[in-house]
A and B are shown apart, each in its own frame.
Chain A
């Protein structure tokens, strides 16, 4: 089933001359794990925000084309309506804390209170989210007294508690230390296993190659490629689009070792080992 349909999406921020998104079209199936890559300012964040209606409802600006999420056309619904279908997690864990709640537990309840969920259901959902993100031990702490990784997992839990069918993560680990990023990546993988459709914008290509079903490569607001990681990372023009392939792919490219029977280079450690294993290294 098509979960997300984007058709000829064009968008220009107010006060800007340039299109941030230029004729973007793609379709995403239910339960897919999609990676969005591209250099800075290529339109990744704008695209992520277009999925939840922040573009155009929050920023205004010029908007053309269609984004249809699970049958709802984003342009015609409010952000609060769309938030029942799609959740988004941002880069900075600090600014996602509401600042009006005293404990992690209450913080996660914030969205549910706004949506008018009953108390019994709320408690169920919060416990589910706390356990899924493995932050139950901190539930009585102040939201500001967590480490970056814990805070970001709390932000994800706050969104997950709202039971969206799709979750969009806009560089969720870019401000975290390696340990914090690892925690968050593990959590995202768990979400994907739950059947949630995941859209992840990231710069850590090794992780993207490992997790994603398909990769959307953006440059200058346009879709350059949308395909499985092997195809996208085997492109010769990656450098021109400001993206580095995973280190395994770069090594195999340098050695000109393709995956057996295909025209693609390996993108994960395992594949690289399989391809290079026979070299007697």
Chain B
């Protein structure tokens, strides 16, 4: 079956970490550059994130994401470098344009923060099975209904995509143009929507009934077929991250 999850199976230390710890790391990557706005701190965080991605051996998988992010960051660097109010120190000229130091530094600050956050999320997404993440969260007290919604999306969307393909094939076999220029493809998309959306709605009703009769709304406490996964050093890692954030705060306030 096709999967829309980006999870990549590898046998590394990062994969063996508690999903909750990875969520803590995201918090860390978000907060630290805010607490300590120095560009050096951001660079350290970025390097840390990249090291984790390399250790998890998923760096290659991040390239498409990073190239997209870089495209956007490039526009930020150009615009800020050229036009940021308060630009004074000229770095160099090309043609009629002048690149300024202040704008460039500001843009780099933004860029590092973005890369930092993106890599923290990539660590979570690429090295954690969605079902493991949700199960950890449900055990920590997330409503099992929300958990169900999150996990089922990963299976039901690919199902919808394959039914969409079947419908496209059926329409193509009756002579509809589905390939060619953008306009033809847009036109081919419209008659798809009816069957796919109405079909999904009907399926949703049936699935809701099937869930009901399997005790989905049962009031009692739930049990789990799989034993709770034991992650080593979870507590140490999580407390370590919290301590790191606390230290950064203290640094900011005191120094």
* Chain A residues in the interface with B (C-beta under 8 A): 49, 52, 54, 58, 78-80, 83, 87-88, 90, 92, 94-100, 102, 105-106, 109-119, 122-123, 126, 142, 144-145, 155, 158-159, 162
Contacts and interface: CB of A to CB of B under 8 A. Distances in A.
Interface stretch (B53-61, B182-190, B208-216): B208-216
A83 B218 CA distance: 10
Given A99-B155, A144-B1, A145-B1, A88 B223 contact: no
A83 B220 CA distance: 14
Given A80-B215, A122-B223, A144-B1, 14 more contacts: A58-B208, A79-B217, A83-B213, A95-B210, A97-B207, A98-B152, A98-B211, A106-B225, A112-B225, A114-B214, A116-B218, A116-B220, A119-B225, A122-B225
A106 B225 CA distance: 7
14 contacts: A83-B213, A88-B213, A94-B159, A94-B203, A99-B155, A99-B159, A110-B214, A112-B225, A114-B214, A117-B223, A119-B224, A144-B1, A145-B1, A155-B210
B156 interface: yes
B93 interface: no
Nearest to B217: A80
A111 B214 contact: yes
B35 interface: no
Interface in B98-155: 131, 147-148, 151-152, 155
B225 A113 contact: yes
A191 to B, nearest CB: 16
Nearest to B221: A116
Interface size class of B (residues with CB under 8 A): 20 to 34
Interface string B194-214: 000000000100111111111
Given A80-B219, A113-B222, A116-B218, A54 B210 contact: no
Contacts of A123: 225
Given A116-B221, A118-B223, A119-B227, A100 B213 contact: no
A116 B209 contact: no
B226 interface: yes
Interface in B33-75: none
